[in-house]
A and B are shown apart, each in its own frame.
Chain A
């Protein structure tokens, strides 16, 4: 078998996985929205455009995403500078801490900000109690890490001598930043901004928890139209609008990323970080560190504090109540059963994501061989790029689209999975697979092809080469990818809410149900359940962060 044939064979598994569990459901959505009953009919789409309420929702979706993105950039750049350029004690701890919010389940972030912004909470006292402000604040908290990691990642590698040259040529500090540093960071900033915008645009759990009944975005409206109004055609039309917007934003981000590699003279990060100098230097650094810590830590502390706050003072009452709570008509499942279901799902989803993502990474990391005609090589590269984009789609497109698509596509022959225990893990694996691929591909690509050839000439068959060379080198990255997949599955909410059945309720869905119950007891228990979920995911991620130390890896 030629290497090309082998690659095609390997590619079949991940490509069909995404085709069956993503492309097919999305096609079903488009069909439901635009060609109901087999006849093209754009009236549902027309309603979305003309209905003033739906137009208002679309406008609010864009506006909150734009505002959240702008604020995230403003607050994220100092953090990026701090972690990329300043050699402060405890930098690696700070770096790990900064990522925590991004991997937290949206339900945890939502409840944390409910505890900060809700009635009688600190921010409400400042007059920022309204849902829209809470949503924007939660989005900034959630996406801060994207800016710090993406921009900081590039910043750490920019040659500081260019700034020094500008200074010796008479440019002041601010002038240097604006005319030398900022233009070089631009691609990373644009790239981070497009990712953050996308996440805010498709944000679901946070809006649902913090927006209450009055505030909707396209995502939550799709859910409302589906679950409450049972209006699947309008939901499908909204999904189509959403899909078009997401693809457009993805395209902008991709263009910006593509330009990044061109001209910059990048340096190893360890050469660019400097100790702060003088009182002003340390004061600036301290202020940056306080800002980062406040941003990251405050909501989490507020969450945990609220979970141990009872009418009788501090105590574990909410946790105890949670443990003692059985299945009920409102929760469907007992908290203990939901936790068990979440863990089961996470294990299954991780296994699928690692298997599918591992195969995909093995294909994507191959360089089309030097031999062969240039046209064939071009075709090979184009094929790889197409596969890459295809596999990344589920990450960019919203969780609600995934869940809604599963709901309307996988409930009838040829694929009737309504009652299958695999449904939720499959949806989670779909979202987690791109993360596994992203963790593995850079490491696989960094393996010197001579190592594989050397093993080959020493008598190792292609399969043996994979086992003896690729696998040991990539093992750590595989673990990182598995940890990410596990955390993502534990916290997944949007897709799960659509497809969870009474007997398959997960922890995030249970938290959502607790939050929608009246009374301070249910609220306290939601805080307690959120705290548990936070500890689980943050724990998994910190473990992974420790493993990642000393390794290259883009965000």
Chain B
């Protein structure tokens, strides 16, 4: 299993990672979730041995990897931009890692074909990688990382460049693939839906620090602080929540309610597939509140409204 302890990476005077602690158990998939520029890619690069940590350790099964070169770690890394070798065809890309292990050409090709079939690319063997679509390139990159059977597979925003529909399909596919192969995986994403679909556990990282780790449902329902809460969709932060103390509420937890305690004026109203998202400038709140209104007749901008909070959908925040 992978253990990361107090990992700190600095670039000159900026600190990209600040004392990160993480564990990935054998066969487990851990998603690192965080906003862009939060140090996620740096984490993967440091674990892969591509960045030299300023402090802290990366170890595998209790063995410290400091000083072990990237090519001796047997960690696979799937790059965000895929980094496919442009001068090799699909099959040669996928067989590359096997050949580096000393597997003969014929055997490497045979096993590479097997992995290509696994990701749904049978018959793509001799295609030029530059001629592939984004989704196909993503599959080749995945197959290339999987083929040498790395003891840890790391994926950097693996679905980032794809359109929404494809992303949802592939996230489910990844989940099935990882559990079928028993892969130990560490992947980073900025998309919480993706993290929750693929991972057994999620670590939320922001500004170089891990702020919360837990199963998806826990992160989704009980964010520990305001930053995490906002990141997973709790748009409204109330200073005095229904249970006393600060609370985070999703737009679905607020209602337009003539008897509600909060008064305000509608700023805007946006159509969102199954509801309207109404932004209300409320008295006593610095930022406008976001309210999900299911009905067909949302309030119009400029209209005065009152708002109530559904106590069962408000999450108390630890004082931060």
Contact = CB atoms under 8 A, between A and B. Distances in A.
Interface of A: 370-374, 377, 448, 450-451, 453-462, 464-465, 468-469, 472-473
A371 B77 CA distance: 20
Interface string B187-210: 000000000000000000000000
5 contacts: A448-B81, A448-B83, A451-B85, A455-B85, A458-B97
The secondary structure that dominates the A interface is helix
A460 B97 CA distance: 8
Contacts of B73: 457
A373 B11 CA distance: 7
Contacts of A458: 71, 76, 96-97, 100, 144-145, 148
Contact of B77 (A374, A454, A473): A454
Contacts of A460: 71, 96, 100
Name the residue in B72, B81, B96, B145 with the highest tally of chain A Cβ atoms < 10 Å from its Cβ: B96
Contacts of B144: 454, 458
Interface in B122-157: 144-145, 148
A457 B75 contact: yes
Interface residues of B, number: 32
B12 A454 contact: no
Contacts of A468: 85, 96
Contact of B12 (A372, A453, A455, A472): A372
B51 A374 contact: no
B79 interface: yes
B96 A373 contact: no
B50 interface: yes
A451 B13 CA distance: 27
A453 B83 contact: yes
Given A374-B13, A472-B87, A473-B86, A456 B70 contact: yes
Interface string B22-48: 000000000000000000000001001
Contacts of A374: 12-13
A200 B134 CA distance: 52
Nearest to B97: A458
A455 B71 CA distance: 8
A369 to B, nearest CB: 9
Contact of B100 (A448, A451, A459, A473): A459
B306 interface: no
Contacts of B148: 458-459
A146 to B, nearest CB: 32
Given A453-B70, A459-B148, A469 B85 contact: yes
A453 B50 contact: yes
A459 B148 CA distance: 9
B275 interface: no
A469 B88 CA distance: 10
Contacts of A373: 12
A-B complex: 9 closest residue pairs judged by Cβ atoms: A459-B100, A458-B97, A450-B83, A454-B83, A456-B70, A457-B77, A374-B12, A472-B87, A456-B71
A461 B12 contact: no
A472 B93 CA distance: 14
Contacts of B230: none
A45 to B, nearest CB: 48
Interface in B75-122: 75-77, 79, 81, 83, 85-87, 96-97, 100-101
Contacts of A372: 12
Contacts of A455: 85, 96, 100
